[in-house]
Amino acid sequence: MSTMKFCRECNNILYPKEDREQKILLYACRNCDHQEVAEDNCVYRNEVHHSAGERTQILQDVAADPTLPRTKSVICANCKHGEAVFFQATARGEEGMTLFFVCCNPNCGHRWRD
């Protein structure tokens, strides 16, 4: 069973990161330089499906997450706010990763693809 790992330096969540040169799996902090080698080279992939009502709360949580990267170089088409969170994910029914943006305006929460 997989459990969440936390950074020893700043207590943020550690995320899986592949080291292709050494061919190992690491857990890395997005807030500082802390990394640690994973005990197992397998990461479980969650297949999460949400209803439309649940998606609204999830997008607000994503926009408020301080560990996700932010950009001020894209303008929201919905409310014209100038800051967005971005992340890569697999779009349903598609192969490969897609870049998604979520508007940081708490009254908007608009999501779009790159």
**Digit-coded pLDDT (tens) for 25-40:** 888 888 899 998 887 7
For the chain, domain boundaries: 1-44, 52-113
Is CATH 3.40.50.300 the right assignment for the domain spanning 52-113? no
Query: Is 42 labelled as part of a ligand binding site?
Result: no
Confirm whether residue 104 is marked as ligand binding. Answer: no
CATH of segment(s) 1-44? 2.20.25.10
Pair 65, 74: CB distance under 8 Å: no
State the residue for tokens 């890395």: 28
Q: Can you give the pTM of this predicted structure? A: 0.48
Give the 3-state secondary structure of 17-68: EEECCCCEEEEEECCCCCEEECCCCCCCCCCCCCCHHHHHHHHHHHHHCCCC
Position 51 scores a pLDDT of 53
Q: Do domains 1-44 and 52-113 have the same CATH topology?
A: yes
